[in-house]
Amino acid sequence: MSKSAQFFALLKALLNVNFGISYGRRTFLVQKKRLWEPIVIALGVGSGVIGLGAGYVSLLNAMYSNAQTLGQGNMILTLAIAAGQVFVLILGLFWVISVFYFSRDASILTPLPLPASTVVLARFGVVLANEYITLALILLPAFCVYGTRSGEGLIYWITCIPVFLLTPVIPLAIAAAAAIVLMRFVNVRKSRTLFMFLGTAVFFGLYFWFQYYVMHKAPQSEADMLSYLMTVQDSLSRSVAMRFPPSLWASFSLSKAGTAAGLGNLLLLIAVSAGALALAMALGSRLFYAALAAGSEATASRAKRPGREAAQAGLALPHSLWVRRSPESAIALKDMWVFLRTPTFVLNGLANVLIFPGLLAVWFIAGGGGAGAGGPFAEIPGFTAFMASPEFAAARALAFAAGVLFVSGVNAVASSAFSRDGLQFWQHKVIPVPAHRQVVGKILFTLAFQLVSMVPLVVVMQLVLRLDLAGLAMGVLIGIAASVWASLMSLYVDMMRPYLNWDNPQRAMKSNLNALIMMVVVTAVAAAVGYIVIRALSAQLDQGLVMWSTLGLFAVLAGVSYYLLMTSAERAFARVEL
């Protein structure tokens, strides 16, 4: 069999496992089981995508109208492409490490007579396929808005295809190269978890430094910015894609489609994408199997520890000092240790709670955070009045709480609490502890993680909004109540439909539709509550009453969610089949 045939056969098999195609065909089409699930998921996800997509398209249309007054409507293309590539670059490192090194099929593929380059390229294709699904939500609306508003012809729409396919290649190849080198370095020193944490910290540090550097290189004053816009061609696009040219090449390939400049940018994008992919594959050919072998040796050496050392380790703590814990606290601690000792879980959990406050902090510092309330956001029309006027005190506190709710909604820790157990879920079915008490243990760890993860966001939001003590207290209380509701509801959704048949830890969180369902639910509830609050404040209702009512509403929602968890636990555990 030729190398190309091997590659496509392996890619087909990996994609089948990744998306559960055979499992879904057997369950829904052959066995006719749980036919309601895909219908409910399609309706829920579809309504969420349509609702959020409508707002996104409206935003793109407004941005196009404003930018086109300067003859630079192509800015929306650059902005969407840059946002998509940054998203891939940040999370790509985690996904590549998980798919390349933590998949259960690694022990199956390693003995096969397949070149490392074939395995690496096939795994890269799996990650890329997942990226296309996410990027479609970001890029396709921008492509359609620009194409229809600017009246582009057939060449533009044809060019959209290669640009869409090439957009994630360069950032993902960079992430893959970094992951391959990192994992080879980590495995040699037999300290995988430690060095993955260090590598993640360095990666986030470099990314936030890059954002800070780019913002400082942009024109700082209004006069400088106006001069820049008037004298530099495509200045808006160039300022958006500053220091990351691939976004600019992709944007110009579309906005200048049918011209020599457009073709030149497209060819440049193709060439650099091919070069970046070739570099990642070359590193993979040399280092991939070596990293896997080093990791296996480290595991084997720990497994073969002499019995005497193991016995001594087991007797290190006298029986008199052992602590008897309740089942709830024992399950919470077990969840904590499993979470912390699985780098993929930690990286996904931290990424969701650090990116948003990290970007806010970078924008705040780079924009001169000390210059008045709101720092760099003071340039937003109406923001200064919003920050200074006492009549908006409640709105500021509620905006603070909305930020906390947003981070809780996008965090997949709660919506994968049961799914992370995987095939080990059988332990929950056999231990002599009632299901509702086991659920309480899950709740304890989830809420503890949510409360700790709120700290960076609370600090950054306070720097931006500058709330007084009373407003800060109400914002934190409402945020905690909203976060508790979102967490309990996420636990309920994951308990009722856990995703247990994953083949690598990454899929337990990233490929878990429960997280997407909860994002839609949280967004819908937040939008509804926000609408009610705005109407109440516009009607000149007492601000304190509005805030306390909002707190009470989320407290009631949290109570209802807790009741659902407790009353449905036994039934949910009983229906799980492994």
DSSP class per residue in 318-376: -GGG-----HHHHHHHHHHHHHHT-HHHHHHHHHHHHHHHHHHHHHHHHTTTTSSTTGG
Query: Do 499 and 514 meet the contact criterion of CB atoms below 8 Å apart?
Result: yes
Query: Do 329 and 384 meet the contact criterion of CB atoms below 8 Å apart?
Result: no
Query: Do 458 and 421 meet the contact criterion of CB atoms below 8 Å apart?
Result: no
Cα-based angle 55, 149, 160 (whole degrees, multiple of 5): 90
Task: Give, rounded to a whole angstrom, the gap between the first and last alpha carbons of the chain.
Answer: 37
Residues of the chain with pLDDT under 70: 1, 34, 36-37, 40-41, 44-45, 47-48, 51-52, 102, 104, 185-243, 291-323, 359, 362-388, 578
Which residue intervals of 150-234 are DSSP H helices?
154-166, 169-188, 192-217, 222-231
Instruction: Report the sign of the C-alpha dihedral through residues 242, 247, 251, 257, in that order.
Output: positive
* Spatial distance between the Cα atoms of 297 and 452, rounded to a whole number of angstroms: 36
pLDDT at 288: 76
pLDDT at 195: 58
pLDDT at 306: 47
pLDDT at 319: 53
Nearest-CA neighbor of 413 among 266, 326, 512?
A: 512
pLDDT digits (tens, 9 = 90+) for 214-266: 555 544 444 444 444 444 445 455 555 556 788 888 988 998 888 999 999 99
pLDDT at 209: 62
pTM: 0.65
* Spatial distance between the Cα atoms of 347 and 378, rounded to a whole number of angstroms: 33
pLDDT at 192: 54
Cα-based angle 377, 381, 385 (whole degrees, multiple of 5): 80
- Domains of the chain, by residue range, sit at 77-220+232-300, 329-574
Task: Please return the burial class of 513, using the count of CB atoms within 10 Å of its CB with bins 0-12, 13-18 and 19+.
Answer: middle
CA dihedral 181, 184, 189, 190 (to 10 degrees): 130
Residue the block writes with tokens 């496992």:
17
pLDDT at 370: 46
Query: Do 369 and 463 meet the contact criterion of CB atoms below 8 Å apart?
Result: yes
* Spatial distance between the Cα atoms of 159 and 250, rounded to a whole number of angstroms: 10
Q: How many CB atoms lie within 10 A of CB 201?
A: 11
pLDDT at 264: 93
Query: Do 471 and 11 meet the contact criterion of CB atoms below 8 Å apart?
Result: no
Q: Which residues of 121-133 are buried (b: 16+ CB within 10 A; e: fewer)?
A: bbbbbbbbebbee
